[in-house]
Structure 1
Amino acid sequence: MASKSHYFPLVIFLLSFSNVTAKSASWSADSRETDFQKWVSWNVQKHREKSTMSQAESTSQALAEAGVKLVDDKLRKAEMHKVRISVCQNGTGDFKTITEALNSIPSYNNRRVILDIKPGVYREKISIPRKLPFITFLGNSSDPPTITGNDTASVAGKDGRPMKTFQSATVAVDANYFVAINMKFENTAPHEIGSIGGQAVALRISGTKAAFYNCSFYGSQDTLYDHKGLHYFNNCFIQGSVDFIFGYGKSLYENCYLNSIAKKVASLTAQKRSTWGDYSRVVFSFTFMDKIVLPRGWSDWGDQKRDTRVFYGEYKCSGPGANLTGRVPWTRILTDEEAMPFIGTYYVDGDTWLISPYKNWITSEPY
């Protein structure tokens, strides 16, 4: 989806299915269309089955009516034994830096650890390894803390070789069950048109079952690396110029703003299901698109063979940029039934792991 400098509110879905095998590029367009229709039909059927099961489970209904939310067992136990530590640069907290706070957490932690991060600009390169699940970054809603850096893919790492996109992230999360609330993630490296190695990630999320509430992501090229796993973004602001949401993640972006600062035409999303994104899947729904969105809407990056392999859909979008008249012919306009599996937290299995950021559903206490 292409744009120039501006922003618009949207609900966006980055679709990725690891159980779908990439087919030969020699398939005909008709065969590929049949394959996509089967995929859409499969999602519709799974949504129906899940809805039916939910309605049939009286125990779950009773718990829901009582305001209790079911979560997976690991998460339930972690929430029951949560702890809070504070980070403040002036020394009044438990730690002065986020890195120090993370280093204090034992490996293979099994309880929710909330880092209460006080306002300020934290010039740190943060890495949360897989052995530190259940970490929460909690900032102040009126004055969110900023974690900032300026590494790029071409910068030399500790081994003297270029970091590449993966290691350029200011904040890298490899752990599962990560949550961020009221935080700013930033990479200040500018994008220079025509430059090589300018990828500069603000945040990379590689763990699964991660949620972001009221967060901002600032960067230029490759701002948000939605790498892999189930992810949920709510009321977030995401700014960049080139491919500033990209990766393999199966994610739901709800009530978010995308702000393009590109000086020329650039892409908002670059979802990948193979090395070059040949099997990319993205759906925009209930999205207000400003006039800056190009009439074509989507790009195959000069490779027409991709037209029969990608799935780019739209559903009930509005605004001057949502006019379908000039769209590429391989855009898919979803029906109500086809859109249902993709327009709620069901899509990321949210009923099993999403918890309100301001209320612990296990103890009924606020974070």
Structure 2
Amino acid sequence: MAFGGNYLILFGLALSAFGAVSRSVTDQLTNSSAVLLRVDQSGNGDYKTIQEAIDAVPSNNKELVFILVKPGIYKEKVTVPADKPFITLSGRKASETFITWSESGGIFDSPTVSVLASDFVARHLTIQNTHGSSGKAVALRVSADRAAFYGCRILSYQDTLLDDTGRHYYQNCYIEGATDFICGNAASLFEKCHIHSLAEGTGAITAQRRESPSEDTGFTFLGCTITGTRTAMLGRPWGDYSRVVFALSYMSNVILPQGWEDWGDQSKQRYIFC
């Protein structure tokens, strides 16, 4: 497991990715010409479900669409299709606005929310998969470029956040799970996030999947807080060239002294960066 100059490369990569995502987000949040759609379970909005509002966005969308979700518990699976970019999905408070589902199985099939479209923003939402501890149960899948999440709570047990592909930014988010609960092969910056492990033994927080030295991917945690119920590892390498950095972050004594594990394959220690 290596330290040193590569840290600056990965940190620069994360900031570059954040820059691209940030510009996209700023355009969405400040452009007054965005189409506004309201979701309200009581029937006092444009739609009663979040998916109905997303379905109303035309294919190959080129307009900024702001979907305001009124407080409530929305029991539904939500998918933002690849041909519907430029959507912002926003609650008012994460503690009052829940998107929830209970499903286990494959990491691409079980997510409560799947983001497949670029230039996506989520704000002040709780996204959770309530299946529990018996198997993979993804709360949020992000398989698109330029996606950002602000003040969101992302909750499950195993594989909570499938940070799959693309450049992503997470700010002031709370992410909770027990086993490999931030996983995937995106290029992502987690800034001022609270990461909480539910592991009862040696569960890993991250499982980054970089497969080749030519991939500009990795997870950077900057100014984050790491807590847990018992003990945990910072991560283990899902891919042969996994890259993860925790910088300027507080770690409680939940993190075991060794910090990382090699997933039972010592040969991976030659190439991973953590």
- When normalised by structure 2's length, the TM-score is 0.81
Query: Could you tell me how far 1:301 is from its partner in structure 2?
Result: 1.1
Within-5 A mapping of 1:1-367 = 71=23, 79=31, 81-141=33-93, 143-153=95-105, 164-192=106-134, 198-274=135-211, 276-312=238-274
Q: Structure 1 or 2: larger strand share?
A: 2
Q: Partner of 1:166: helix, strand, or coil? A: coil
Q: Partner of 2:108: helix, strand, or coil? A: helix
Query: Could you tell me how far 1:37 is from its partner in structure 2?
Result: 6.9
Q: Partner of 1:279: helix, strand, or coil? A: coil
Structure 1: distance between partners of 2:41 and 2:65: 19
Deviations 1:190-218 (A, max 9, x none): 113xxxxx110000011111110000001
Query: Could you tell me how far 1:80 is from its partner in structure 2?
Result: 5.8
Matched residues, number: 242
Q: Which residue of the partner structure matches residue 354 of structure 1?
A: none
Where structure 2 has 5 or more consecutive residues not aligned to the other structure, the ranges are 17-21, 212-236
Query: Could you tell me how far 1:142 is from its partner in structure 2?
Result: 6.9
Name the Cα RMSD after superposition.
Answer: 2.7
Cα distance change of structure 1 residues 42 and 287 upon mapping to structure 2, 3 Å threshold: closer
Q: Partner of 2:89: helix, strand, or coil? A: strand
Structure 2: distance between partners of 1:150 and 1:45: 38
Cα distance change of structure 1 residues 42 and 294 upon mapping to structure 2, 3 Å threshold: closer
Where structure 1 has 5 or more consecutive residues not aligned to the other structure, the ranges are 1-28, 51-69, 154-163, 193-197, 313-367
Specify which structure has the bigger relative contact order, considering alpha-carbon pairs within 8 angstroms and separated by 6 or more residues: 1
Find runs of 4+ consecutive structure 1 residues off by over 2 angstroms. Answer: 36-47, 78-81, 141-144
Q: Which residue of the partner structure matches residue 348 of structure 1?
A: none
Q: Partner of 1:100: helix, strand, or coil? A: helix
Query: Could you tell me how far 1:38 is from its partner in structure 2?
Result: 7.4
Deviations 1:107-150 (A, max 9, x none): 11111111100011101111111100011111012743100111
Q: Partner of 1:167: helix, strand, or coil? A: coil
Q: Which amino acid aligns with 2:102?
A: N
Identity of paired residues, percent? 41
Q: Structure 1 or 2: larger helix share?
A: 1
**Between Structure 1 and Structure 2, whose CA radius of gyration is higher?**
1
Q: Which amino acid aligns with 1:224?
A: L
Deviations 1:285-305 (A, max 9, x none): 111111110000010011110
- When normalised by structure 1's length, the TM-score is 0.61
Cα distance change of structure 1 residues 210 and 46 upon mapping to structure 2, 3 Å threshold: closer
Q: Which amino acid aligns with 2:265?
A: D
Q: Partner of 1:141: helix, strand, or coil? A: coil
